[in-house]
Amino acid sequence: MSSSVMEKIRDLLSLTKPLQTFLLMVTMYGAYLAAGGSDLRTAILLSISGFAGIGGTTMLNMLLERDIDSVMERTASRPLPSKRLTVPETSLVAITLIVIGIISGYAINPYVAMTVFLGTYFDVIIYTNIVKRRTPANIVLGGVAGGMPALGGWSAAVGGFTFPGILLAFAVMLWIPLHIWILAYYLKNQYIKAQIPQFPILAGPQVTSAMIRASLILLVADVFLFTITQGYGILSLVSTTILVARVFRKLIIFSQNPDSSLAFKIYKMAGPVIGALFIFLPIDYHLQELESSILTFLR
């Protein structure tokens, strides 16, 4: 394979934002395993559906935002604004991936396919194409897309949309303000230059910090509700609460001294919060299963 083809492939892969895609797939796998999923065929199809759906949607977003990327220092060297990839070839790959994501999701069940479709719809049509450039509350609607992989993973295991799966989708949505808003403050000058009305730029650090803290309180409440309704999840609840408490303390300091370097440190703490929740959930589920087996044996 020629070096030019390899460079194209690397550039296309970069448009899927591999780290972001990986994190969302962690929520998908965590939800699937926490719902008792264990079928190998389903897990393989879910992997294909998750990567293709999330990656294709992200690629389409990058395509629609290439004008924004071209004026922001952080993103100006990306493949589309730097002209290393063309609009037609990127569109073809992105749409192909999304179609693969929906088809492989449907091979599991229609509900998984629906989460791929809804993720793409809310992220590309609602968030990127309609609200992102018009309102500072853009991530409220855009956050729906972030919760779809978790709902899809849960639906793959149980066969439909159920209350616990919706709670896990909400957990991701409630985490998103921490992930997005604190980074937006860190990059506020670049967002101002790109004329994107991000909430932290208009509301200021004190209000932003308060809103993020409110969303984190709701996140812990959401995990608590999952735990008491499902009868398992104590490790997830404890780990999430501890990590949220650490972020909470940093956010209070940030509200009093809104330093950009502190904003970036808080941003780096965001991934572990949602990661811990969805890594510990399957452990909680299997511990509960083990406990049930032991009690049944003792009887």
Cα distance from N-terminal residue to C-terminal residue, the chain: 63
CATH fold, domain 1-160, is Tetracycline Repressor; domain 2 (1.10.357)
- Alpha carbons within 13 angstroms on the beta-carbon side of residue 102 total 13
Instruction: Please say whether the beta carbons of 184 and 201 come within 8 A.
Output: yes
Assigned token pair, 161: 């949309």
Q: Higher confidence at residue 57 or residue 196? A: 57
Measured CA to CA, the distance from residue 288 to residue 142 in angstroms comes to 34
CATH number given to 162-299: 1.20.120
Predicted confidence (pLDDT) at residue 268 exceeds the cutoff of 80: yes
What band does 299 get if pLDDT is binned at 50, 70 and 90? low
Number of residues that make up the chain: 299
Measured CA to CA, the distance from residue 185 to residue 270 in angstroms comes to 14
Instruction: Please say whether the beta carbons of 90 and 63 come within 8 A.
Output: yes
Kindly give, in sequence order, each residue whose CB lies less than 8 Å from that of residue 222, ignoring residues fewer than 6 positions away.
167, 170, 171, 174
Three state DSSP letters for 177-215: HHHHHHHHHHCHHHHHHHCCCCHHHHHCHHHHHHHHHHH
What band does 74 get if pLDDT is binned at 50, 70 and 90? confident
Assigned token pair, 120: 């793409």
Residue 98: φ, ψ to 5°: -65, -45
What band does 179 get if pLDDT is binned at 50, 70 and 90? very high
- All CATH 1.10.357.140 domain ranges of the chain, comma separated, are 1-160
Average pLDDT (201-213) is 91
DSSP string, 54-80: HHHHHHHHHHHTHHHHHHSTTTTTSTT
How confident is the prediction for the chain on average, in pLDDT? 92
pLDDT of amino acid 55: 97
Which pairs with CB-CB distance under 8 Å and at least 24 residues apart come from 3-11? 7/84, 8/84, 8/85, 8/89, 11/79, 11/84, 11/85
Quick one: DSSP state of residue 84?
A: S
| Range from 88-92, 139-143, 270-274 carrying the lowest mean pLDDT | 139-143
Side chain identity at residue 16, one-letter code: T
- All CATH 1.20.120 domain ranges of the chain, comma separated, are 162-299
Measured CA to CA, the distance from residue 52 to residue 42 in angstroms comes to 15
Nearest to 188 by CA among 265, 268, 263, 80: 263
The structure tokens 């479709």 sit at 117
